[in-house]
Amino acid sequence: MSGTPSNHPFGNTAPAVGFFDSGVGGLAVWREFVRLAPDAPTLYVADQAHVPYGPRSPEEIRCFAEAITRFLLSQGVCLIVVASHTISAAALWPLREMFQEVPFIGIEPAVKPAAARTRTGVIGVLGTFGTLNGPLMARVVERFARQAQIIPRVCSGWVEQVEEGLLEGTEAEARIRQHLDPVLQAGADVLVLACTHYTFLAPLIRRLIDPQIALIDPAPAVARRAAEVWQACAQGIDPWASSHRFLTTGDPARFQAQLRRLIGWDGPVERLYWDPQGTLRAA
Ligand code: DGL
């Protein structure tokens, strides 16, 4: 893949799809989405100045999410993918309330498919503090898994590990085992990845678990839903050349290297700033 520099905002009239996350996790959803909708222009915002979001309060996450949404809308997106469980848990409902004309696609812990799959009745849900203690998690467990035993595990450090690019090797393995082993010891035969960053740890996790244990990653299902909604907004518009923009509130050179390593994207990265009023501004 190579980056085509785009004019502001997209150099075409196609409605674009906005994605955001605290960092690189949402790229797991973005990657699936562009496979399904290769013509769609996209814009991805990583708030790496504030990563990780997991231990932050829902109020703080809602403020960040609202400002990022305003920025995405100023750039001409027609659809916003909240490519994060933590942000969906804290802010999806308030965002839908606040921006009623905007379609938002969020992510909930994939407890429903896990409940259909488990034989032992024990489901491990791997996520951040915000996700596992948020209302969305409580709701999905209540709706879909009342009969199951849920083992929620806050996998502290995994988001930072993915941001650092520590996906393989002895140290990566030790950090994964610290959270994985207690969940396996509790008898879980299905593991839910309830944080988009963890998709990038899935190859290592798969090697560490029995092949009988199912690992559920919701990224493809979320991308499918986003592609359907995008097809509906893009209907009737002439074909265009797709363009992708990547923006970070952190270090653009670092994000560029992460994009190359994680999704094979080689292109420019734009810098965003938080101003003292909490508004997101382009450089
Ligand atoms: N990737 C995000 C999620 O799915 C955010 C994690 C974080 O920043 O703690 O939860």
Instruction: Tell me the mean pLDDT in the region 190-216.
Output: 98
Tell me the CATH number at 186.
3.40.50.1860
Q: Which has the minimum average pLDDT: 13-22, 46-55, 145-154?
A: 13-22
Q: Specify whether 39 is located in the same domain as 162.
A: no
Q: Specify whether 212 is located in the same domain as 115.
A: yes
Q: Specify whether 96 is located in the same domain as 116.
A: no
Instruction: Tell me the mean pLDDT in the region 2-28.
Output: 70
Ligand 1 neighbours, Cβ below 6 Å, are 21-22, 25, 51-54, 84-86, 128, 131, 159, 195-197
Residue 234: per-residue pLDDT: 78
Domain containing 169: what range?
A: 111-217
Residue to mutate, 84, 161, 179, 222, ligand 1, most ligand atoms under 8 Å from C-beta: 84
Residue to mutate, 105, 159, 216, 222, ligand 1, most ligand atoms under 8 Å from C-beta: 159
Cα 160 to middle of ligand 1, angstroms: 10
Q: Specify whether 97 is located in the same domain as 126.
A: no
Domain count of the chain?
Answer: 2
Residue 266 is given by DSSP the state: B
Q: How far is residue 11's CA from residue 20's CA, in Å, rounded to a whole number?
A: 21
Share of the chain above pLDDT 70, in %: 93
Whether residue 5 is contained in a domain is answered as no
Residue to mutate, 21, 133, 137, ligand 1, most ligand atoms under 8 Å from C-beta: 21
Residue 2: per-residue pLDDT: 38
Q: Specify whether 121 is located in the same domain as 213.
A: yes
Q: 3: pLDDT confidence band, cut at 50, 70 and 90?
A: very low
Q: Is the pLDDT of residue 237 over 70?
A: no
Q: Specify whether 158 is located in the same domain as 82.
A: no
Q: Specify whether 124 is located in the same domain as 53.
A: no
Last residue of a domain, one of 191, 217, 243: 217
Last residue of a domain, one of 174, 200, 217: 217
Last residue of a domain, one of 217, 250, 269: 217
| Cβ proximity of 80 and 70 under 8 Å | no
Cα 62 to middle of ligand 1, angstroms: 14
Residue 147 is given by DSSP the state: T
Instruction: Tell me the mean pLDDT in the region 150-160.
Output: 98
Whether residue 1 is contained in a domain is answered as no
Q: Specify whether 72 is located in the same domain as 99.
A: yes
Residue 191: per-residue pLDDT: 98
Whether residue 9 is contained in a domain is answered as no
Can you name the residues that pair with 124 across neighbouring β-strands?
A: 151, 191
Whether residue 187 is contained in a domain is answered as yes
Query: Whats the size of the chain, residue-wise?
Result: 283
Our separate counts of H helices and E strands in the chain read 11, 11
Q: What is the pLDDT of residues 31-77, one digit of tens each?
A: 999 999 998 999 999 999 999 999 999 999 999 999 999 999 999 89
Q: Specify whether 171 is located in the same domain as 204.
A: yes
| Cβ proximity of 68 and 53 under 8 Å | no
Residue 252: per-residue pLDDT: 98
Backbone angles phi, psi at 235, to 5 degrees: -60, 135
Cα 279 to middle of ligand 1, angstroms: 21
Q: Which has the minimum average pLDDT: 11-20, 122-131, 158-167, 213-222?
A: 11-20
Q: Which atom of ligand 1 is nearest to the CA of 26?
A: 1
Instruction: Return the amino acid letter for 54.
Output: G
Residue 7: per-residue pLDDT: 37
Cα 99 to middle of ligand 1, angstroms: 22
Distances (CA, A) of 120 to 13, 97, 189, 221: 52, 39, 6, 24
Whether residue 7 is contained in a domain is answered as no
Q: Specify whether 115 is located in the same domain as 205.
A: yes
Q: What is the pTM of this model?
A: 0.94
92 CB-near residues (< 8 Å, 6+ apart)? 82, 104, 106, 136
Whether residue 6 is contained in a domain is answered as no
